Chains A and B, each alone.
Chain A
Amino acid sequence: MNKVLFFAHLRDAVGEESVEVEAAGKTIAELKQQLAEAHGIQKLDAVMAAVNEEFADDDEVIKEGDTIAFIPPVSGG
């Protein structure tokens, strides 16, 4: 299983802080498409992803147990 984390406006859109999905073997791009359809999220393809707390490209392949986070444009500071 894989834990997927949502933050800021994405969490508001999904209505949950995290979901559990079977994503091993999928790319980040594929997972984005799956979640966008499942949760009716728009523009997920324009959001950065992190795998195990490091930024990841869309073509990175997810492994069993990886934690994936979707990172909207940041606004700290």
Chain B
Amino acid sequence: MNYEISKEPINIQSVIDKVVQREAGAITTFIGTVRELTHGKKTLYLIYEAYESMAVKKLEQIGQEIEERWPGSEVAISHRVGKLDITDVAVVIAVSTPHRADAYEANRYAIERIKEIVPIWKKEHWEDGQEWIGNQKETVSYPTGKPEEADLHE
């Protein structure tokens, strides 16, 4: 189970352990955390929601894309759902590769792809209200709600 949607706090070390391999010279870990201030506005907490079965499939797809682009890589991703407080861990991505440059690049690729194609949503709760957030990537295409064709199939 290298790709998980978790209702419980993510054990960071357990995600890293999944990509340990004798061929690796590097493991990079990305830990996404809940930020208090966004454009000066204070977040109290977040609710993350997922279309869980599809989200796991899309995380697996991202892993496959990485293994094709960076041969010899291994990937594990866990994304949290439910209520998260400020500083809580929302996502952990671990990538191991034979050489360090690939581990950094592939890990960055994973988080950008999560923001494009994985059906997970966050609801921000502020002191004065709440709102579902969409389109964090602020790409040209996504305001229409559609990932680019290439995003879906590559």
* A associates with B: yes
Tell me the A residues contacting B by CB distance below 8 Å.
5, 7-9, 12, 46-48, 50, 53-55, 69, 71-77
B136 and A7 form a contact (CB under 8 A) = no
B145 and A75 form a contact (CB under 8 A) = no
**B-chain residues with CB within 8 Å of residue A55 when the two chains form the complex:** 117, 147, 152
**B-chain residues with CB within 8 Å of residue A71 when the two chains form the complex:** 51, 119, 145
Q: Which of A5, A47, A72 has the most CB of B within 10 A?
A: A72
Tell me the B residues contacting A by CB distance below 8 Å.
32, 48-51, 53-55, 57, 79, 90-91, 111, 114-123, 132-136, 142-147, 152
A74 and B118 form a contact (CB under 8 A) = yes
B119 and A7 form a contact (CB under 8 A) = yes
Q: Specify which of B91, B132, B134, B145 is in contact with A12 (CB 8 Å cutoff).
A: B132
A50 and B132 form a contact (CB under 8 A) = no
Q: Which of B49, B51, B90, B123 has the most CB of A within 10 A?
A: B51
Chain A residue at minimal CB-CB distance from B116: A74
A74 and B32 form a contact (CB under 8 A) = no
**5 cross-chain CB contacts under 8 A:** A7-B121, A55-B152, A69-B54, A69-B119, A74-B119
A5 and B51 form a contact (CB under 8 A) = yes
A74 and B53 form a contact (CB under 8 A) = no
**B-chain residues with CB within 8 Å of residue A72 when the two chains form the complex:** 121, 132, 134, 145
B32 and A73 form a contact (CB under 8 A) = no
- Give, as a whole number of angstroms, the nearest-CB distance from B10 to chain A: 13
- Give, as a whole number of angstroms, the nearest-CB distance from B148 to chain A: 11
Given the complex of chains A and B, what is the CA–CA distance between A12 and B121 in angstroms? 13
B132 and A48 form a contact (CB under 8 A) = no
- Give, as a whole number of angstroms, the nearest-CB distance from A45 to chain B: 9
